[in-house]
């Protein structure tokens, strides 16, 4: 019997070029999408062309991810409306600052009786049903530095939210997060009596809204499959909460209110982002802003009548 001979098996390249791009930016963006899915890649160059390369075993998964990324990018470009001029997008910021300062001035003129009427009290909220205090307490402050700090940080966080939520939805969400944070604070201390005031609960509610929106963007862009991708916005939010909300150990700083404001804002931000509020028409944004203003004024009117 003649000896058996084996034909050589063709070698399979370990690295495969799966896409080519004219601009390096395009290759890097697709590479980030692959990294988010845990696919190792490299970028090479041949002449004026940038090549995206992956291991041979990852070709199928990489091509699937690139197709999904390009489809999502195309859908975003088609659906995204033309952004309004920047000068029109942030007109609400000075208005909100004016409302906060006006509340502080009114508190100074009315004195202790006005503060007692609106301050958050776990006893009066939960035992006596004075629910308006979770809102009115947001307009009261301990001193001038307290007012300035809340205005500065609040406008910073609010300004970051406006492009994502729109102006009316932003401030309605911030007010809702602040009121929910105050309600949770009262519940956390109950049955012990606890009194607190200040817009800082809403300020850290806005921080929670930002983190919730960032988490939704990760999920929507298919970039949240690795756990550490989710930890980035959470870690950043918690770091800011610890840095800005601890108050350097001052006894007058209500750390629990800051924490509960953040905790209320985070899921609310995720939920609001699902509705894509930035695409809401101007009348809807105006209605949401009007609801926030009416809720704030209505809480004080109701408290004045029934307090």
Regarding whether 44 and 138 lie in a shared domain, the answer is no
- Residue 176 in any domain: the answer is yes
Count of structural domains, the chain: 2
- Residue 180 in any domain: the answer is yes
- Residue 252 in any domain: the answer is yes
SS3 176: helix
Whole-number pLDDT of residue 292: 93
pTM exceeds 0.85, yes or no: no
- Residue 6 in any domain: the answer is no
Residues of the chain with confidence (pLDDT) below 50: 1, 4-12, 78-87, 223-224, 249, 251
Question: 155: domain range?
Answer: 88-306
pLDDT tens-digit readout, 98-110 = 988 888 888 888 8
Regarding whether 97 and 61 lie in a shared domain, the answer is no
Whole-number pLDDT of residue 287: 93
* d(C-alpha 242, C-alpha 81), whole Å: 37
Whole-number pLDDT of residue 253: 63
Whole-number pLDDT of residue 175: 95
In angstroms and rounded to an integer, the radius of gyration of the C-alpha atoms of the chain is: 26
Regarding whether 193 and 48 lie in a shared domain, the answer is no
- Residue 8 in any domain: the answer is no
Whole-number pLDDT of residue 51: 84
Q: Please, which residues have CB within 8 angstroms of residue 190's CB and are 6 or more apart in sequence?
A: 122, 126
Regarding whether 116 and 37 lie in a shared domain, the answer is no
* d(C-alpha 211, C-alpha 203), whole Å: 13
The domain that holds 49 is classified in CATH as: 3.30.70.1530
- Residue 7 in any domain: the answer is no
pLDDT tens-digit readout, 9-67 = 444 456 778 888 888 888 888 888 888 778 888 888 887 888 888 888 888 888 888 88
Whole-number pLDDT of residue 136: 92
Regarding whether 34 and 129 lie in a shared domain, the answer is no
Whole-number pLDDT of residue 224: 46
Regarding whether 200 and 99 lie in a shared domain, the answer is yes
Regarding whether 170 and 30 lie in a shared domain, the answer is no
- Residue 190 in any domain: the answer is yes
State yes or no: cis peptide before 191, omega within 30 of 0: yes
What dihedral do alpha carbons 274, 276, 278, 284 form, nearest 10°? -100
């Amino acid at each position: 019997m003649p000896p058996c001979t084996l034909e050589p098996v063709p070698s399979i390249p370990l690295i495969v070029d799966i896409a080519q791009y004219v601009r390096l930016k395009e290759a890097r963006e697709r590479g980030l999408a692959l990294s988010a899915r845990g696919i190792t890649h490299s970028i090479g160059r041949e002449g004026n062309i940038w090549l995206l390369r992956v291991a041979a075993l990852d070709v199928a998964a990489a091509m699937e991810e690139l197709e999904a990324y390009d489809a999502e990018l195309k859908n975003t470009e088609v659906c995204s409306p033309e952004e309004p001029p920047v000068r029109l997008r942030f007109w609400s910021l000075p208005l909100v600052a004016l409302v906060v300062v006006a509340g502080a001035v009114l508190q100074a003129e009315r004195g202790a009786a006005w503060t007692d009427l609106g301050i958050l009290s776990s006893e009066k909220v939960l035992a006596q049903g004075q629910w308006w205090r979770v809102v009115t307490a947001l307009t009261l402050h301990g001193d001038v530095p307290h007012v300035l700090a809340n205005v500065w940080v609040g406008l910073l966080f609010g300004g970051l939210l406006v492009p994502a939520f729109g102006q009316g939805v932003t401030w309605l969400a911030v007010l809702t997060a602040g009121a929910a944070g105050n309600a949770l604070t009262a519940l956390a201390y109950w049955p012990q009596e606890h009194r607190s005031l200040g817009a800082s609960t809403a300020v850290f509610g806005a921080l929670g809204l930002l983190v919730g929106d960032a988490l939704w963007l990760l999920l929507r862009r298919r970039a949240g499959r690795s756990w550490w991708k989710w930890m980035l916005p959470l870690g950043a939010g918690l770091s800011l909460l610890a840095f800005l909300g601890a108050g350097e150990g001052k006894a007058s700083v209500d750390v629990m209110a800051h924490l509960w404001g953040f905790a209320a804002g985070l899921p609310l931000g995720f939920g609001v982002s699902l509705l894509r509020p930035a695409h809401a028409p101007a009348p809807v944004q105006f209605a949401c802003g009007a609801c926030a203003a009416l809720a704030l004024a209505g809480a004080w009117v109701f408290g004045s009548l029934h307090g």
